[in-house]
Structure 1
Amino acid sequence: MTVQLLLAFVLFAFATAGTPGPNNMMLLASGANFGFRRTVLHILGISAGLGVMVLAMGLGLGGVFKAWPMLHEVLRWAGGAYMLWLAWKIATTSAISEKDAAARPMTFLQAAAFQWVNPKAWAMALTAASTYTPEGSTVGVFFVAGTFMLVGAPCSAAWAGFGQGMQPFLDRPPVLRAFNLTMAALLVVSLYPLVVETRPAGASREAPRELAADLPATPRWASRG
């Protein structure tokens, strides 16, 4: 990978991992409700999940999407349904304390698994693997995946930290309730571009083989969903 391509990839990773989206809305809400320390496993799960997805795309799973474009539709609707459920969970979260064992943030495995039903994560992984990975280079795939994790983790941590910083303003149940409702609404709003666009920008319905040529193009919603 050339220096220019590496810089372009780092910028892409920051733009996609650091902008508002399903992961970051949930991290913000988790930091505000549970604190940064209890959200660390959530942060690490997102980073690991995205890294594994890039590896999977670069090592051959991307070919499945070339052969079966309908999988994009299945992932879109499955991911959308799951995020609606998460929005409901956030909206119904009440004031908690460290001693409240019934209320807890996402675990490492839950956060990692969520990436596989997160349409934005799929778009990020497909673009990273198809655009920034040298063709036929297994080492390049691992390098891109590792770089993506290194760039993404601080971005995720920043959102969780920002949520914790808001705790002094959310110490009253009505205010925390309003905050959680707002986070849930923003998570639902983030689904809009994922649902209305029937396929990533530039992809073709009629010819699956055309998808291969379009994968390098980042979907319009990849940096904002």
Structure 2
Amino acid sequence: MPFIPFLSYALVTSFTPGPNNIMSLDSARRLGLKRAFPFLLGVTAGCFAIMLLACYFNLALYHFLPRVKVWMNVLGSLYMLYLAVKIAKSKPTTKDNDPNEGYSFKSGLLLQFINLKIILYGITVISTFVMPYDASYMTLFMISLLLTCIGFAAVMCWAVFGAMFQRFLNKYERSFNIIMALLLLYSALSIWI
């Protein structure tokens, strides 16, 4: 397996803006790092499940991808648009509205199953860098674990950033929300470009 290209692709894809990273940053900004941790664990658990599914069903998905890809694109784009609108329209955090809304373990986990970026990432990295060289169950499991660890490091970095700059981001919450919504909109549009 070409490890350096594999690792480069995994790091760049994991750390660039996408639904996981943007939502992790926002959860830590709203809740603080400690209270955002269940969401981050949900994202990580979902990522691991997607990586395993990408490994064990990669050949079947790859065969049907032309038919499935359009529906995955539509569903992923619509969900990212929904998140963008929700973030853009969100009211400043006060004691009256619940900052925990949408940032549970379950929501982080379920996000992965409609997050087109992570699904296509899993399919691409496994089919390109792993399966041509070794498709043993142990290798696929270990690669899934490695990719999940890289993903966890990425969402933690974004969440730490959100927590570190919480006061600043909360002061400019409306502007921040619009920027985050635009990044999600860009993520949704980049699927079609």
Structure-1-length-normalised TM-score: 0.76
Match of 1:138 in 2: 137
Q: Distance in 2 between matches of 1:164 and 1:68?
A: 39
Give the letter for the 1:143 counterpart.
M
Opposite residue 140 of structure 1, the aligned amino acid is T
AA in 1 matched with 2:99: A
Higher helix share: 2
Deviation at 1:116, TM superposition (A): 1.8
Per the alignment, residue 154 of structure 1 pairs with 153
On the 8 A contact 1:54/1:128 being kept in 2, the answer is: no
Question: Cα distance, 1:170 vs. partner?
Answer: 3.4
Partner letter of residue 59 of structure 1? Y
Deviations 1:53-109 (A, max 9, x none): 121121125413413521110010011111111112212222325x65733142222
- The residue type equivalent to 1:31 in the other structure is A
Cα distance, 1:171 vs structure 2: 4.1
1:192 corresponds in structure 2 to 189
Distance 1:88 1:61, change over 3 A: same
Distance in 2, matches of 1:68 and 1:13, equals 21
Partner of 2:98: 102
Say yes or no: does 1:54 pair with 2:22.
no
Which structure 2 residues correspond to residues 62-101 of structure 1 after superposition, within 5 A? 62-96=59-93
Asked if the contact 1:46/1:115 (under 8 Å) is kept, the reply is yes
CA contact (8 A) 1:34 1:96 kept: no
State the structure with more CA Rg.
Answer: 1
**C-alpha root-mean-square deviation of aligned residues, in Å?**
2.0
Gaps of 5+ in 1: 197-225
Task: Quote the Cα distance in structure 1 between the aligned partners of 2:6 and 2:65.
Answer: 27
TM-score by length of 2: 0.87
Q: Match of 2:163, as an amino acid?
A: Q
Q: Give unmatched runs, 5+ long, in structure 2.
A: none
The worse-fitting range, judged by mean Cα deviation, of 180-189 and 37-46 is: 37-46
Alpha-carbon distance in 1 for matches of 2:14, 2:61: 25
Would you say how many aligned residue pairs link Structure 1 and Structure 2? 190
Q: Identity of counterpart residues, as a percentage?
A: 30
Cα deviation code 1:155-206 (max 9, x no counterpart): 110101101122221344xx2122112211211122122023xxxxxxxxxx
Contact 2:29 2:170 in 1 (8 A): no
Distance in 1 between the 2:173 and 2:164 partners? 13
Structure 1 contact 42–107 (Cα < 8 Å) conserved: yes
